[in-house]
């Protein structure tokens, strides 16, 4: 029997104007498409502008999402990981998920789960102010215990019981992006563990079999207290101390030098997967990034650009991730991908005017068409 894979692409839910608060960053009212539409080359040979073959469509429209879901599923992408935000005591950018995906008539073809993107908001999303960094916090993401319980009650009530929510061993998967902000808001490691245990218990009380908490790994050390800059703990220690069930990455840029050819990056990526597999007690799910170039978000050139992230190079990365999964039959066949639509970071699967459907065709070839090789 041919093995199946859970290929999970992150979704950046900003390509809609349905959230009124987005106008502070993108005043024209169509979300970050405004930035993509205005982007241009920053140096000779720069492969911008890139334009979406599907147009600047509203991804909070269920008809649009029905088309995207079919395209994803037909090419082997069968899970979306929605970036999920909570700022100023309320959710932010939920419309793509709530109004688009969840109202799509075919959403059973692609499951979903959530990553709480609990990072502070500076002015990065506003190209007029993206260069301003220090002391320019618009929203802080750290929350205290009452606010954490309030937001997680929303998760349990609105999402975790959806019939197409992605689970491992029947338990809804929930990823947390920024562990330092988590510790900062909840008051350190011991308090955070107590709150996470309470989160699991409230899920059980709501009729779920529990939770599968997934750590997004990119920092090497964390402030143990979460508050006062005291003793440091490693990422490995934090997984054990907080009781995470698994981990994956969000982007290559978080752990390796990306200012080089994709083919030169990939061996370091595979080495990082192998290191984590050796050193951590919980499962690691391999991660593939489509590339990196966030120059569309800035008026002047920003160094750090992945070179030659061609469909052929991405196909090799997909094949390496599949080989890792095949070598770990005891864990779910999950692979995370950055991303479905991170256009302003130049890391997307959606078809463009440079490679067409090349990235999606690479996914289909590796995950739907190629037979598994012996020894994988």
Residues 6+ apart with CB under 8 A from 281: 239, 240
Q: How far apart are CA 338 and CA 10, in angstroms?
A: 6
Q: 287 has which bridge partners? A: 336
How far the first Cα of the chain sits from its last, in Å, is 15
Across-strand partners of 221?
Answer: 234
* Residue 222: per-residue pLDDT: 80
Quick one: pLDDT at residue 116? Answer: 98
Assess contact for 346 and 296: CB atoms under 8 A: yes
Domain extents for the chain? 6-141+249-369
Give pLDDT, residue 375.
41
pLDDT value at residue 350: 98
pTM of the model: 0.96
Q: Summarize pLDDT for 146-204 with one digit per residue, the tens.
A: 999 999 999 999 999 999 999 999 999 999 999 999 999 999 999 999 999 999 999 99
Which residues are 347's β-sheet partners?
342
pLDDT of residue 22: 95
Ramachandran bin of 31, using left for φ above 0, alpha for ψ from -120 to 50, beta for the remaining angles:
left
3-state per-residue secondary structure call for the chain:
CCCCCEEEEEECCCCCCCCHHHHHCCCCCCCCHHHHHHCCCCCCCCCCCCCECCCCCCCCCHHHHHHHHHHHHHCCCCEEEEEEEEECCEEECCHHHHHHHCCCCCHHHCEEEEEECCCCECCCCCCCCCCCCCCCCCECCCCCHHHHHHHHHHHHHHHHCCCCECEECCEEEEEECCHHHHHHHHCCHHHHHHHHHHHHHHHHHCCCCCCEEEEECCCCEEECCCCCCCCEEEHHHHHHHHCCCEEECCCHHHCCCCCCEHHHHHHHHHHHHHHHHHHCCCCECCEEECCCCCHHHCCCCCCCCCECCCHHHHHHHHHHHHHHHHCCCCCCCEEEEECCEEHHHCEECCCECCCECHHHHHHHHHHHHCCCCCCC
Q: Exposure of 291 by Cβ count < 10 A (0-12 exposed, 13-18 middle, 19+ buried)?
A: buried
Question: Which residues of the chain, if any, have pLDDT below 70?
Answer: 1, 134-135, 226-230, 371-376
Among 103, 2, 50, 38, CA closest to 322: 2
Tell me: the pLDDT tens digits for 197-231?
999 999 999 999 999 999 999 877 888 776 555 68
Q: Give the residue from 306, 266, 246, 24 showing the smallest Cα distance to 115.
A: 246
């Amino acid at each position: 029997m041919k093995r199946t894979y859970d290929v999970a692409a992150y979704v950046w839910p900003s390509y809609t104007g349905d959230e009124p608060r987005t106008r502070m960053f993108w005043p024209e009212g169509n979300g970050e498409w405004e930035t993509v539409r205005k982007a241009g080359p920053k140096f000779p040979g720069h492969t911008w502008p890139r334009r979406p073959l599907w147009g600047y469509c509203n991804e909070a429209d269920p008809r649009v999402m029905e088309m995207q879901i079919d395209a994803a599923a037909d090419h082997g992408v069968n899970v979306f990981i929605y970036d999920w935000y909570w700022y100023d005591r309320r959710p932010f950018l939920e419309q793509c998920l709530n109004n688009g995906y969840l109202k799509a008539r075919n959403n059973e073809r692609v499951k979903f789960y959530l990553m709480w993107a609990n990072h502070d908001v500076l002015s990065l999303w506003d190209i007029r102010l993206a260069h301003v960094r220090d002391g320019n916090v618009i929203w802080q993401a750290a929350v205290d215990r009452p606010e954490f319980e309030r937001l997680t009650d929303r998760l349990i009530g609105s999402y975790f019981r959806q019939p197409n929510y992605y689970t491992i061993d029947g338990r809804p998967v929930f990823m947390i992006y920024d562990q330092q902000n988590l510790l900062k808001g909840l008051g350190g490691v011991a308090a955070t563990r107590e709150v996470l245990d309470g989160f699991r218990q409230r899920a059980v009380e709501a009729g779920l079999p529990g939770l599968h908490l997934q750590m997004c790994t990119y920092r090497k050390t964390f402030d143990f207290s979460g508050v006062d800059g005291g003793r440091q703990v490693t990422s490995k220690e934090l997984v054990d101390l907080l009781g995470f069930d698994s981990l994956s990455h969000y982007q290559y840029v978080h752990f390796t030098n990306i200012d080089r050819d994709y083919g030169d990056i990939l061996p370091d990526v595979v080495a990082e997967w192998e290191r984590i597999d050796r050193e951590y007690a919980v499962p690691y799910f391999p991660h593939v990034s489509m590339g990196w170039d966030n120059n569309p978000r800035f008026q002047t050139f920003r160094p750090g650009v992945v070179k030659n992230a061609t469909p052929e190079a991405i196909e090799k990365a997909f094949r390496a991730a599949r080989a890792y999964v095949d070598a770990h039959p005891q864990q779910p066949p999950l692979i995370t991908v950055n991303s479905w639509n991170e256009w302003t970071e130049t890391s997307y699967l959606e078809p463009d005017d440079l490679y067409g459907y090349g990235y999606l065709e690479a996914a289909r070839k590796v995950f739907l068409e190629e037979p598994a090789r012996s020894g994988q």
